[in-house]
Amino acid sequence: MVYISPDEGSAHSILLCLMSADFVNSDFCHRELSAALKNHQQGKQRVIPVQWRNCNWDNLPIAALQGLVSTPIRSLPEHERDDAWTQAAKKLDPIIEEMRAVVMKKWH
C-alpha cells in the first residue's frame, strides 16, 4: 500500500493498494481497509487498487473500485512493466489534481 499525502491517512489522501495475495492476506486488508473504504465513500480519501500480482480479490469490497491497470503488472514481461507503471501514473495525475483542488478550495 502506498499513501500519497502530506500525512499518512489524513483527509484528502490517496491510498494505492497493490493487490497481491500478500496484501489480501495482510492485517491491513482485514483490519483497516474497511475504514479506508468508508473514508473513500465520504470523499475524505481515495482508495485505488493497483493489480500488482495475480490473486483472488473479486469478493473483497475494494473490488468494486476502479483500478489503475487491468492486467497485473507483475505478470507482464519485464520490458512492459515500466510502460504499465507510466500508464498508471498518468491515470493518477487527474485524481491528484482533483484532490489538490478540493484542499485548495477548503483553504481559501
Residue-wise pLDDT for 15-73, tens only, equals 999 999 999 999 888 888 999 999 999 988 899 999 999 999 999 999 999 999 888 99
Banded model confidence at residue 102, pLDDT cuts 50, 70, 90: confident
Tens of pLDDT, residue by residue over 76-97, are 999 999 999 999 999 999 988 8
Report angle CA 57, 40, 14 to the nearest 5 degrees: 85
Please state the domain extents for the chain.
2-107
Residue 103 has pLDDT above 90, yes or no: no
Q: Rounded distance, CA 74 to CA 1, Å?
A: 15
The per-residue pLDDT for 16 is 92
Query: Rounded CA gap, 46 and 4, in Å?
Result: 10
Q: How many angstroms separate the CA atoms of 39 and 88, rounded?
A: 22
Q: pTM of the full predicted structure?
A: 0.81
Burial of 65 (0-12, 13-18, 19+ CB in 10 A): middle
The torsion angle over the Cα atoms of residues 56, 60, 64 and 69, rounded to 10 degrees, is -40
